[in-house]
Amino acid sequence: QVQLVESGGGLVQPGGSLRLSCAASGSIFSIYALGWYRQAPGMQRELVSRITTIGNTNYADAVKGRFTISRENAKNTMYLQMNSLKPEDTAVYYCNAAGLGNNFWGQGTQVTVSS
């Protein structure tokens, strides 16, 4: 089992930055591929970014060049640095850990981009 807890969300003005964190406990963190997803009101949950066990990354087109995903296995933590935020980035952001046939989710953290 892996327990995931997101933090770092909040209200930010357009053009601002936020850094989300996802702290994990339980199983061995390093063996899981990790990802950030988001869900806006009335919309389906969508992939924002993913990072593999060896650090390969991919991003949704909407966030390329603005968001950066990273992981620190020694700290059992994953991050999402979000720059140049736009109102359309407003959503609940969830972290995910997947591997060995398992799929774990955090409870989510709200990000609101508004002036």
User: What is the average pLDDT across 32-49?
Assistant: 96
Please check the confidence at residue 29 and state whether its pLDDT lies above 80.
no
Higher pLDDT, 48 or 29: 48
Q: How far is CA 67 from CA 19, 23, 35, 58, 86, in A?
A: 9, 19, 13, 10, 12
Burial of 18 from C-beta contacts in 10 A (0-12 / 13-18 / 19+): buried
Model confidence pLDDT, tens digit, residues 50-104: 999 999 999 999 999 999 999 998 899 999 999 999 999 999 999 999 988 889 9
Residue 36 corresponds to which tokens in the numbers above?
């950030």
pLDDT level of residue 14 (50, 70, 90 thresholds) = very high
